[in-house]
Amino acid sequence: MRIKAAFLDFDGTLGEMRPSHFAAYRSAAAEVGIEVSEEALASRDLDDAWARWMTPDGAVHLAESASEAAFREVRIALAVDRLRAAGAQADEATLRRAGERVAEVEGDPSWYVLYDDALPALERLARAGVEAVVISNHVWRLPEIVRALGAGAKFEGVVTSARVGARKPHPRIFEQALRLTSARPEESVMVGDSLSADVAGGERVGMHGVYLDRRGRPAPDGVVTIRSLLDIPLEWPPS
């Protein structure tokens, strides 16, 4: 069967923050006089921050995604929590300023890069007539970030959890992304670097999950694994 749509994660799949997300936190904190190490910031899993919104299907934050301003408050609060957990020593007003700066940096395209295989892979999909959509647990301004990186025209749309109000693996975000294409779930692949959020989440709504592992580790049993976006299957099952 020919694949008609490819849904791609952003962080770790299409691109990333450089030098790193935690470097952005450290830089933002330093601007207001807070010293914190990247190692301390990395000691807590990023997904832990969403525990308060967790449901059996994934995190849901509809009220907080009602507007960009409302979601910005969430990002500020998450940043402050992470800085505290990393041992940052500051009063509440200073922590708030650091959180505001983190929220600004997270939406700044200059902190992001695409991987070298991203644009060639998108051109390959376009030549094959495959519609492409970004579907990512990310910030409100991800569509603007993707456009600034020169990839906006390559996609039917950019779906970010910040605007949907649900994070992968919740079905809601996949269903919204599917509506941007002419493809049925069984004619689609979901490509990402997370087995739980991307592969299992996509498969839950009927997509074919494709695990992107850039590190060359042994492929998980029963999971279609690729090492580069240039290897996204154009047919299913992959040849």
List, for residues 210-239, the tens digit of each pLDDT value. Answer: 999 998 888 889 999 999 999 999 999 998
pTM for the whole structure: 0.94
| Residue at token pair 């997509």 | 207
What pLDDT score was predicted for residue 43?
81
* Topology (CATH) of 5-16+113-231: Rossmann fold (3.40.50)
Q: What is the pLDDT of residue 90?
A: 93
pLDDT at position 47: 60
Q: Tell me the domain boundaries of the chain.
A: 5-16+113-231, 17-57+66-110
The parts of the chain modelled with pLDDT lower than 50 are: none
CA distance 34 to 89: 7
Give pLDDT, residue 216: 87
DSSP H/E element including 123: helix 118-127
